[in-house]
C-alpha cells in the first residue's frame, strides 16, 4: 500500500496495539469499494462490528451502492479512527485493505457474527433479518496506520487478527459469559471502562468478549479493553476477567 | 452510482441545498482512491477546502498513499458529513464521485485555491509550500446523498457546483472583502454563525466568500451560510452581506 520505507517507522507492539484498538473500537467506518457502474472508487459510511478473530464485519442494505459493489468485487478498504478536537490529521486513524465476503444465514459463522453485531449495535435488531440486509466479513490483507504527523506504519493483515487457538471456544461461550458478567457482576463493566479504558462514567455494559479482550458499550460509545496476554485457552477466561477487575479496582 | 430509481427520492432544491452544505461545510473527508500498487480501493482521511465554484479541494502530502494514487488515476470519491449522537446512519452524509486534477503552483487557479484553503485551515500554513504537498481540485461528476434512513437522492455533479457568472469576479475581490468584514465589521461573523447557521457562540470569523454564500470558522468549527439568491454580479456582494446582517439581527 505504501512503497516508501524511508518514511515508515518500524512496526512495533505499540503500533500493532494502536492499530487493533482503532479497528476494534470503531462503531462505524468509511468504506471504500469499486462502484460497479462507474468503476470509480466509492466512499460511503457503514456500521461496523468485528468477528471473533477481530476481522471487521459490516451489515449493509442491498439498497445501498456499496452492497452491489461488494457482491461484484470484494476488494474493499475501511478507514477507522475518528478525529477529536484540533487538527483532524493529528488524530490516529487506520486504512485497512480487505477482501470482503458475504456471510449468508446458512453459514455456521453467521450466528455468532449476528449475535456479536447486535450486542454492539442493538438498534440494528430492527432490520438485521430483513432479506435485503447482509453481513460481510472483511479479511484484512494489509493496513496503513497513521498515528499522527510523522507516525506512519505499514501493517500486515495478520497484525490485525487474533490468532489464539482459543478463538472458537471463546465464541462458543461468549454469549453466556457476557450475560453472566452483565447480570451477576454489573459493577465490572463500568470499572473496566472508566479505569482501564479511561472512558467517562456511563451505563457501561460488556458487548463482546474475544481471546484478546472485551468490548464495552454505553449509549453511542464503544471502548475496548485488552487482556494483558491473549487467552491460550477459553478455560482461562474466568480468571482473566477476575484479574482484570482486580487491576481496575486498584487504579 | 445507484441504479435503483425505486428507492431514490426525486432530487429537489432541499436535497441540493443539503448536499451542497454537507460538502462546503466539511473540514475533512474520507477519500476513496485506487491504490496503485494493489488495485484495491483505498479509504483515507484528507483535509478539505473548496474552490470558488464549490468544487472540493484537497491538500495532500506526497508521502501519503492517496497522493501517489491520485497522480496515477484521478478517479476518486469523497464522503462528507460527520455523524453526531445516536445512530451514525441516521445522520446526513454524501458520497461524491469526482475527477481529481493536481493544481500546480504555476496555474492561475493556484493562488486563490491556496488562499482559500489557508483561510479555512490556518495551520496548513506550516506545510502548504513544502515541495511534497500538492493541491488537488476534485470536479464532482455524480453524488449519492443520504439524508438519513429512507432519504436517498442521486445528484449530478452540476447540482454541487456554483454556476454564477460572478464566480471569477468574487474570487478576485474575496480576499479584500473577507479582510474588510472581519476587520471593520467584526460583529457580523458571530451573528451570521449563531443566528443564521444556529452555531454555538464562539470567536467566529469569515474564512471564505463565494457567489452562493460564506464560510465561517471558529477554532475547529466550520459552518456555511447561504445567500437567499446566488450573486448575479460581484457588485451585489456588499448589499447582499448587508441584507444578510439585517436578517441575522432580526432573529
User: A164 phi and psi, to 5 degrees?
Assistant: -55, 140
Q: Is the Cβ pair B30, A220 closer than 8 Å?
A: no
Distance from CA of B224 to the nearest CA of A (A): 19
Q: Which three cell numbers stand for residue B49?
A: 477546502
User: What is the Cα–Cα distance from A80 to B44, expressed in whole angstroms?
Assistant: 9
Residue with cell 500554513: B125
Q: Is the Cβ pair A43, B37 closer than 8 Å?
A: no
Contacts of A7 in chain B (CB under 8 A): 63
Q: Is the Cβ pair B43, A65 closer than 8 Å?
A: no
Please give the radius of gyration of chain A, using alpha carbons only, rounded to the nearest integer. 18
The β-bridge relationship of strands B41-50 and B93-103 is unpaired
- C-alpha dihedral sign at A40, B210, B148, B42: positive
Q: Of B215, B226, B157, B230, which is closest to residue B27 (Cα–Cα)?
A: B215
The three-class DSSP label of residue A208 is: strand
Residue with cell 455456521: A108
User: What is the Cα–Cα distance from A128 to A110, expressed in whole angstroms?
Assistant: 12
Q: Which of A27, A32, A152 sits opposite B42 (nearest CB)?
A: A32
Q: Is the Cβ pair A63, B88 closer than 8 Å?
A: no
Can you state the angle between helices B167-184 and B237-249, rounded to 10 degrees? 50
Residue with cell 466550520: B222
Residue ranges of the alpha helices (H) in chain A?
A: 13-24, 65-72, 109-120, 167-184, 188-191, 237-249
* Strand-pair partners of B213: B210, B226
User: What is the Cα–Cα distance from B249 to A13, expressed in whole angstroms?
Assistant: 57
Q: How many CA within 13 A on the CB side of residue A129? A: 5
| pLDDT for the residue numbered B5 | 41
| pLDDT for the residue numbered A84 | 80
Which of A7, A32, A49 best tests the B interface by mutation, with the highest count of B CBs <10 A?
A32
Which chain B residue is nearest to residue A26, measuring alpha carbons? B88
| pLDDT for the residue numbered A4 | 45
- The burial of B175, by beta-carbon neighbours within 10 Å (0-12 exposed, 13-18 middle, 19 or more buried), is given as middle
| pLDDT for the residue numbered B30 | 98
Contacts of B40 in chain A (CB under 8 A): 75-77, 97, 141
User: What is the Cα–Cα distance from B61 to A133, expressed in whole angstroms?
Assistant: 38
Contacts of A4 in chain B (CB under 8 A): 63
Contacts of B32 in chain A (CB under 8 A): 30, 32-33, 41-43, 77
Which chain A residue is nearest to residue B35, measuring alpha carbons? A1
User: What is the Cα–Cα distance from B25 to A71, expressed in whole angstroms?
Assistant: 33
Q: Is the Cβ pair A41, B34 closer than 8 Å?
A: yes
Q: Which three cell numbers stand for residue B30?
A: 474520507
**Residues in chain B with pLDDT < 70?**
1-6
User: A116 phi and psi, to 5 degrees?
Assistant: -65, -40
| pLDDT for the residue numbered B6 | 56
Which of A42, A78, A144 best tests the B interface by mutation, with the highest count of B CBs <10 A?
A42
Do residues A121 and A221 touch, judged by C-beta distance below 8 A?
no
Q: Is the Cβ pair B40, A77 closer than 8 Å?
A: yes
Contacts of B75 in chain A (CB under 8 A): 39-41
pTM, rounded to two decimals: 0.94
pLDDT 10s digits, A25-70: 999 999 999 999 999 999 999 999 999 999 999 999 998 999 999 9
Q: Is the Cβ pair A78, B43 closer than 8 Å?
A: yes
Q: How far is CA A80 from the centre of its chain?
A: 9
| pLDDT for the residue numbered A3 | 43
Per-residue pLDDT of chain A (251 residues; tens, 9 = 90+): 444 445 789 999 999 999 999 999 999 999 999 999 999 999 999 999 999 999 999 999 998 999 999 999 999 999 999 888 878 888 999 999 999 999 999 999 999 999 999 999 999 999 999 999 999 999 999 999 998 877 899 999 999 999 999 999 999 999 999 999 999 999 999 999 999 999 999 999 999 999 999 999 998 889 999 999 999 999 999 999 999 999 999 98
Amino acid at each position: 500500500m505504501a512503497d516508501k520505507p524511508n518514511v515508515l517507522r518500524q512496526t512495533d507492539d505499540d503500533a500493532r496495539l494502536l492499530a487493533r484498538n482503532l479497528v476494534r473500537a470503531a462503531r462505524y467506518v468509511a468504506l471504500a469499494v469499486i462502484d460497479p457502474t462507474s468503476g470509480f472508487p466509492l466512499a460511503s459510511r457503514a456500521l461496523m462490528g468485528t468477528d471473533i478473530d477481530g476481522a471487521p464485519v459490516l451489515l449493509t442494505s442491498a439498497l445501498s451502492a456499496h452492497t452491489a459493489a461488494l457482491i461484484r468485487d470484494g476488494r474493499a478498504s475501511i478507514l477507522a479512527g475518528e478525529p477529536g478536537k484540533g487538527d483532524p490529521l493529528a488524530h490516529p486513524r487506520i486504512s485497512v485493505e480487505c477482501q470482503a465476503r458475504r456471510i449468508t444465514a446458512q453459514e455456521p459463522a453467521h450466528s455468532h457474527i449476528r449475535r456479536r453485531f447486535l450486542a454492539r449495535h442493538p438498534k440494528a435488531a430492527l432490520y438485521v433479518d430483513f432479506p435485503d440486509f447482509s453481513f460481510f466479513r472483511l479479511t484484512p490483507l494489509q493496513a496503513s496506520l497513521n498515528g499522527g504527523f510523522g507516525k506512519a506504519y505499514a501493517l500486515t493483515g495478520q497484525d490485525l487478527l487474533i490468532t489464539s487457538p482459543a478463538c472458537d471456544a471463546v465464541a462458543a461461550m461468549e454469549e453466556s459469559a457476557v450475560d453472566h458478567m452483565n447480570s451477576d457482576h454489573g459493577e465490572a463493566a463500568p470499572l473496566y471502562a472508566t479505569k482501564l479504558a479511561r472512558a467517562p462514567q456511563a451505563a457501561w455494559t460488556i458487548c463482546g468478549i474475544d481471546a484478546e479482550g472485551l468490548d464495552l458499550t454505553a449509549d453511542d460509545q464503544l471502548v475496548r479493553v485488552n487482556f494483558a496476554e491473549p487467552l491460550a485457552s477459553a478455560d482461562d477466561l474466568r480468571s482473566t476477567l477476575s484479574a482484570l477487575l482486580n487491576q481496575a479496582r486498584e487504579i
